[in-house]
Chains A and B, each alone.
Chain A
């Protein structure tokens, strides 16, 4: 009993989560059978055990891997800046390769299809924009779904419904149009802060679809614009259009990630973070706050617009139904859960946005958003930095030395303690 009381819950919750997760997962089979036999209204909750178990398992495994990595690789990375950059590069390369070869092994993951992964990459693009806008510049936008929709409609209208431009050109026009629109929406944002900005952008997200329905001659009204079979790929890709769209989305997402990564690690990035942390001080230091803010709005909107255009090309359809206000909220949730101030977090966020509804649909088709909402709220209490923040924290924890019990009885050797003393950073923006 004494042992149990001395366990460091706060830091090691994911280890305990792993155990609980395994147990829950092991018992979820029998529970599902119980569930199948009864049709009482609340019995669906029982089938939550499996997904929750898998979730805990996932965090447990990621946490332990991070701890191991921190113990093994941490000291090497700490030796010199070159080592550190080399390892970061290596990590990025492994991640990239994992995505490049994904079409060959995606079927080992539950729910995954190439089509869904392609769309997940489009969410990644939108979320990178949100990261830049919210995570680094501190402006909350709940209207990215609107730009996504405008991007989709741009492709539909410019190539198929109104004019007949080649679709490739429309794909490039879409981010330009949404970028300019985003820049314009960014102008009011200069005077709005925090919840006011969130409110104005949410209102923007709400009005786009009524407008689309109103201009029926351009947008096809309620029926939308169908593009089935109209998108002609070049002969080389004609038989492998799904691969083509996957790699196009991957390339675009990688480009955007690299772009944002470079921005954040340079002069502009420092200016943006200064604006986020203290706008007045930033402007006193000569940062052109207005220009930066509106430009960032434009960039984020352009990303969302391009993602929307590719999305419409993949699902070959653009209609008011697929662009509800909830899209804006869902991608924002994905961004927050991935880690809103983290470039790699966007990848996790995109996958989350695409696949959590599938996972939650096991519980109930309609409860997908409720599951997201609960996860979101739990994250806000337990892991405000999102998934990326969790990894960074665990890394620092590993570097300082794993501590299963409270210090009073700890016999852990404190070898690494001095080396890691300089490591912790509160923002976790790595």
Chain B
């Protein structure tokens, strides 16, 4: 039983990270209806930047927040320079451009930092020793991940619920034309959406780097899990993305343990199966709104 609880806890920690990156995907999908294949690599690059800062002697939390701010501006620049001019282009074009972003950051990271894995420290002030509660080991770092995810969710909720900019962003996503009429600059809101998504992605990257090693491809696998989470939760539902993240985290942790065929290596197959099953049987996801297409 303790074994099971232990697994559930580990799965939830992974799930929180998937949920965070899925949240980034959802924010972009909601505002621009683009599935951003470059999201993971953008996050990877931001993580490397924070590693550089740490390497230069900046204290952990300073590097952490600096990387988030830089990622925010990278997101804004990418939208401004690459995505915005393509508005109204065919889907194929936009998919290709986001793939270009993927390739670009992947190879730039390889160029600057080489493929040698780097050790990324766990945040300063978080104890390394696990706490034992009734036979179950609780990893303090996992608690940190939950706390950050929870804090970020609250922040985003408040931002989208109570601030003028947040409301304007929601309006721009839901009704671009009407929003323009009431004076909201829709491109500006989309740009902000890209910035916030990039910042959320960077957070996910920096939180997962201590668990896996930091190397240029480390987000590729996490991206697939996050896609699974976003699709499961519904690509236009932020709450769904986080919920989906937890479900995907649990499914892969428990599946890896109890389905002998899956083991530790094939958890990603479960993510793939989830993606296909959800897209086939409930394309809108758990919390998403079904899309009605007018013919």
Contacts and interface: CB of A to CB of B under 8 A. Distances in A.
Interface of A: 134, 138, 140, 142, 188, 191-192, 194-196, 198-200, 202-204, 206-207, 210-211, 213-214, 280, 324-326, 329, 332-333, 336, 340, 364, 366-370, 372-374, 376-377, 380-381, 384
A237 to B, nearest CB: 38
Given A192-B279, A194-B91, A206-B224, A376 B103 contact: yes
Given A206-B224, A377-B97, A214 B263 contact: yes
Given A332-B99, A376-B99, A376-B100, A210 B268 contact: yes
Contact of B265 (A204, A210, A280): A210
11 contacts: A188-B280, A191-B283, A202-B37, A206-B224, A210-B266, A332-B99, A364-B111, A366-B114, A372-B103, A373-B101, A376-B103
B259 interface: no
A280 B104 CA distance: 37
Contacts of B268: 206-207, 210
Nearest to A367: B111
B221 A206 contact: yes
A367 B108 contact: yes
B271 interface: yes
A421 to B, nearest CB: 27
Q: In the complex, which of the residues A188, A192, A196, A364 has the most CB atoms of chain B within 10 Å of its own CB atom?
A: A196
Main SS at interface, chain A: helix
Interface of B: 34-35, 37, 82, 85-86, 91-97, 99-104, 106-108, 110-111, 114-115, 217, 220-221, 224, 227-228, 231, 263, 265-266, 268-269, 271-272, 275-276, 279-280, 283, 295
Name the residue among A199, A332, A364 with the largest chain B CB count within 10 angstroms.
A199
Most A Cβ at <10 Å: residue of B102, B107, B114:
B107
B100 A195 contact: no
Contacts of A198: 35, 37, 95
Contacts of B86: 380-381
Given A196-B279, A200-B275, A206-B224, A377 B107 contact: no
A324 B221 CA distance: 12
A377 B100 contact: yes
Nearest to B220: A325
A191 B272 CA distance: 16
A198 B102 CA distance: 14
Contacts of B217: 324
A374 B231 contact: no
A188 B106 CA distance: 29
Contacts of B231: 196, 199
A380 B97 CA distance: 7
B275 A368 contact: no
A132 to B, nearest CB: 15
Given A140-B95, A195-B35, A203-B271, A367 B107 contact: yes
Nearest to A328: B99
A380 B99 CA distance: 12
Contact of B95 (A194, A367, A368): A194
Contacts of B269: 207, 210-211
B109 to A, nearest CB: 9
B102 A329 contact: yes
A283 B251 CA distance: 39
Given A332-B99, A370-B111, A377-B100, 4 more contacts: A134-B92, A196-B231, A202-B224, A369-B110
B265 A191 contact: no
